[in-house]
Amino acid sequence: MSISTSYYFDQAVRQMGDLQTSIAKTQTQISTGQQLTRPSDNPDKVNAISRLNSAIARQDSYASTLTTVSDRLKTEETGIKSASDAMTRVKELALQAANDTLAPADRANIAAEMQSIRADLYALAATRDVNGQYLFSGTKAGQQPFSNGSSGSTVYQGDQTGIQVSVGDQRKLTINRPGNQVFSGVVRDNGASSTQAGFFQVLDDLAGSVKQSDHNGMQRGLGEIDQLNSGLSDALAHNGAGQNVVDSQKALIDDTKLRLQTTLSALADTDYTEAITRLQKQTLGLEAAQSTFAKTSSLNLFNFLK
């Protein structure tokens, strides 16, 4: 079977074209750092890479949420600690006022300081996050948690609903605590019945008892102050638990991202050592093919007859 000159030339051109295409592909892999230069190179691998990129993006979203939650919890912690410090001062003043040797004028000054601290606590209850949302209003984050009513009483305007956010594929975290749980009131036993007294009502009643030198009221107020402090302590413990969850989830997300990125790198990234070695082989192959073609294409019957 004889091979025509045209067929030989076509085969040689096709072979060199394939080699040039392979070289161009390898050069692209080296310059971009990516194994796949187009989706058709390996559809299954492209799908796997897409899934891994989606998983990494999801972890990035969780990490961003955790940063926001962490900032919120730290702001909340500062507010609660400040409130706890203020309540410590209120108790000191209440103990001082309960001294029988104190003059009415001195108690009036103590009551005035208590009312000033009460105003500070009211402001702390209205603490906002970086977005201007109230921390202690439940899901009614745009509404101030406490309001002074027309009767002079302070009422809670938020709700009891917790705000949950996803901080992992299988993990949600409640990021708020209703204001009437942080600034919780007390139950007063009136003998035949009991009544609920809110946080700020307790402070108002205590200041009033001090101003009027009402020793029974002051003694009752001292006991109730401890209950108010207990509510703040519980809120602080809840906040600390939330921050621990944030820290552990951050560590878990970092580990998960590292694992995903390692898998992605193995699938998508160019192995430079292998690619450069392959490029050298392909270049040598093309040079050899070109040299062989140049030599054989110049041969004809007259060369053999010389």
Per the model's pLDDT, the better-predicted residue between 280 and 193 turns out to be 193
Phi-psi category of residue 213: left, alpha or beta, with phi > 0 → left and psi -120 to 50 → alpha: left
Superfamily of the domain at 53-263:
f41 fragment of flagellin, N-terminal domain (1.20.1330.10)
Residue 146 pLDDT greater than 50, yes or no: yes
Q: Which residues pair with 86 in a beta bridge?
A: none
What whole-number percentage of the chain has pLDDT above 90? 46
Position 249 confidence tier, pLDDT thresholds 50, 70, 90: very high
Average pLDDT over residues 169-174: 86
Position 241 confidence tier, pLDDT thresholds 50, 70, 90: very high
195, containing H or E segment: strand 194-197
Residue 145 pLDDT greater than 80, yes or no: yes
Residue type at position 183: F
Amino acid 222: pLDDT:
92
Residue type at position 198: G
Range name among 41-50, 202-211, 239-248 with the lowest pLDDT average: 41-50
Amino acid 261: pLDDT:
82
Main-chain phi, psi angles of 137, to 5 degrees: -115, 10
Amino acid 36: pLDDT:
61
Cβ atoms of 90 and 116 within 8 Å: the answer is no
Amino acid 24: pLDDT:
63
Question: Domain locations in the chain?
Answer: 53-263
Query: How would you class 73 by CB atoms within 10 Å of its CB: exposed for 0-12, middle for 13-18, buried for 19 or more?
Result: buried
Indicate if the alpha-carbon torsion angle 71, 74, 76, 79 is positive or negative: negative
Pull the structure tokens for residue 264: 């992605």
Q: Which of 154, 152, 132 is CA-nearest to residue 143?
A: 132
Residue 8 pLDDT greater than 60, yes or no: no
Amino acid 148: pLDDT:
81
Indicate if the alpha-carbon torsion angle 89, 92, 98, 100 is positive or negative: negative
For the chain, report the end-to-end CA distance as a whole number of angstroms. Answer: 26
Pull the structure tokens for residue 19: 């080699």
Position 42 confidence tier, pLDDT thresholds 50, 70, 90: low
Strand pairing report for 154-156 and 146-148:
antiparallel
Amino acid 162: pLDDT:
83
Q: Which of 88, 96, 121, 135 is CA-nearest to residue 200?
A: 121
Indicate if the alpha-carbon torsion angle 234, 143, 156, 93 is positive or negative: positive
Cβ atoms of 108 and 211 within 8 Å: the answer is yes
Residue type at position 154: T
Residue 242 pLDDT greater than 70, yes or no: yes
Strands, E, within 74-153: which ranges?
Answer: 146-148
Amino acid 200: pLDDT:
94
